[in-house]
Structure 1
Amino acid sequence: MTEHTTGTAARAVTETPTLAIDPGMFTPAPGAAPMWRMVAAQTGMELRVMLRHGEQFLLTMVIPVLLLVGFSLTGVLDVGEGPRVDALTPGILALAVMSTSFTGLAIGTGFERRYGVLKRLGATPLSRFGLLAAKTLAVLGVQAVQIALLGTVALFLGWSPTLSPLSLLIALTLILLGTAAFSSLALLMAGTLRAEATLAGANLVYVLMLGLGGVLFPTSNFPGPMEQAVSVLPITALTSGLRDLLTHGAVPGAGVFLVLLVWAVGAGLAASRLFRWE
């Protein structure tokens, strides 16, 4: 009985079919993910961090809305002829672009660098270009929310912009150029200065550009030499371009695009060369 059982078990084991295993199934295949996938993952993380940060939310959403509502409903500032909200909205949109792509980005990146976050990212396959691209894309995502919010508030206040397919396309081009210029400046500052210096410098620039960049009133109110000096600032070019388009229905001059392009290319090249992970 025992011999019969043992023989049956042996035959069952012998007759059991073997599975065909691909020799390459368990072969390691190390390597980085495609660049677009790394940039997309980093963009998602940057976007979540920016939207959760209370101070950046105040800077990017609350302050522009308060400025738009407050100065549209009161006559504290001389904003020129026509409805106040029509004169103020383009400047506030430009300020929102700067607050996200320059002030918020510079401060956030500066402290990421200080706390070693960028150092750890530098040890990953994510390149310097990938990090800069991810941060810029996250900024564009926040700006889309800003523009939708400010546009809705302005419409409730009686804003009547001059819109056409061409003007929308030109406005989008201006915003993209302005974002590239401000983001490059922010990363240049955050990648070369200490976090405390970046914090102080970014806030100082924000306040100065709010007063000198034509955000709340046209720079034509300034004396001649001063008007020419501030005309080369990116915030002034963006504000005047958006005001020409949305308020006066006129296509901005080539100088506006040239100023933004020069700042974007110059600061971008400097940031790509001088940016330090730690």
Structure 2
Amino acid sequence: MNPVSGRAPAPLLRRILRQGKYESLTMIRNGEQLILAIVLPLLALIGLTVTPLLDGLGGSRVNVAVPGILALCAMSTAFTGQGISTGFDRRYGVLRFLSTTPLGRTGLIAGKILAVLAVLCLQIAVVAAVALPLGWQPEPSGWLAGLGLLALGAAAFTALGLLVAGTVRPEATLAITNLLWILLGALGGIVIPAERLPALAQSIVHLLPSGALGMAMREAFLHGTLNGSAALILLLWTAVAGFAAIRWFKWN
């Protein structure tokens, strides 16, 4: 029972849905996050389709590029976007306040995950709307695996983003998440396949969440297959980062 209004709080599911809606609208209305989530991936898509960087990888340029761009969208929203927004919510006391409301800590985290998935759906629609006129022809049988892998990758990157946001200062979160976005996007195997990276990078990118997601997405949409080892790596990253975030997350 709410002592102020005299009414019981809404059911947990309704609270989570409302928080997810709020988080989603906040992300979409934020110009910087919109650039990170939509504009930069689209620029990367166009750049990869007009340059020969992806030639000779078993498909047309756009067919090879789009799965990596979708994976980049997941990393942009779940890791960099959520990391930065959560870090500054923590700095201004928003997290501390919300964790004491009927929403609770569990509802708050669930709402953030829901927001990531909602924005990711929007990103998929926008990328597909641009890629299809460019000649993208995904393997129809790969959609189920591809969407499942995107959700799993979003979970892994959300856990990593919350871990960073909950353990370091907001200014450091901003620097760390943006730097890792650049490094993983360029050298992490998420957009550019490992075959096109330096020999040293090739030996480790498959163990990174970026490399595992990028490789698995390309196999799904190019060949219609599910890469079980890559999915396992993403599950391990989700479990380890999630446990660490729960263990060391600071709400104030």
TM class by shorter-chain length? over 0.9
Matched ranges for 1:237-276 at <5 A? 237-247=212-222, 249-276=223-250
1:80 is matched by which residue type in structure 2? G
Structure 1, unaligned stretches of length 5 or more? 1-27
Structure 1 residue ranges (4+ consecutive) displaced by more than 6 angstroms after TM superposition: none
1: CA distance between counterparts of 2:138 and 2:215?
Answer: 15
| Corresponding pairs, count | 247
Map Cα deviations across residues 201-252 of structure 1 (whole Å, 9 max, x no partner): 00011001111222332202345553221111111111111101112x1423
2:177 matched to 1:197? no
Residue aligned with 2:211, SS: helix
Structure 2, unaligned stretches of length 5 or more? none
2:135 matched to 1:161? no
Residue aligned with 2:125, SS: helix
Answer yes or no: is the 8 Å Cα contact 1:231–1:237 preserved in 2. Answer: yes
2:192 is matched by which residue type in structure 1? F
Residue aligned with 1:49, SS: helix
Greater Rg over alpha carbons, structure: 1
Which segment is superposed worse, 175-184 or 222-231? 222-231
Answer yes or no: is the 8 Å Cα contact 1:162–1:246 preserved in 2. Answer: yes
Answer yes or no: is the 8 Å Cα contact 1:50–1:56 preserved in 2. Answer: yes
Q: State the Cα RMSD in Å.
A: 1.6
Q: What is the TM-score when the length of structure 2 is the normalising length?
A: 0.92
Aligned to 1:72: 49
2: CA distance between counterparts of 1:65 and 1:233?
Answer: 23
Q: 1:224 and 1:255, CA in 2 relative to 1: closer, same or farther beyond 3 A?
A: farther
Aligned to 1:25: none
Map Cα deviations across residues 48-73 of structure 1 (whole Å, 9 max, x no partner): 11111000000001111111112212
Question: Could you tell me how far 1:38 is from its partner in structure 2?
Answer: 1.4
Residue aligned with 1:148, SS: helix
Answer yes or no: is the 8 Å Cα contact 1:51–1:57 preserved in 2. Answer: yes
1:163 is matched by which residue type in structure 2? P
Aligned to 2:186: 211
Q: What is the TM-score when the length of structure 1 is the normalising length?
A: 0.84
1:147 is matched by which residue type in structure 2? I
**Identity within the alignment, %:** 46
2:184 is matched by which residue type in structure 1? M
1: CA distance between counterparts of 2:27 and 2:21?
Answer: 10
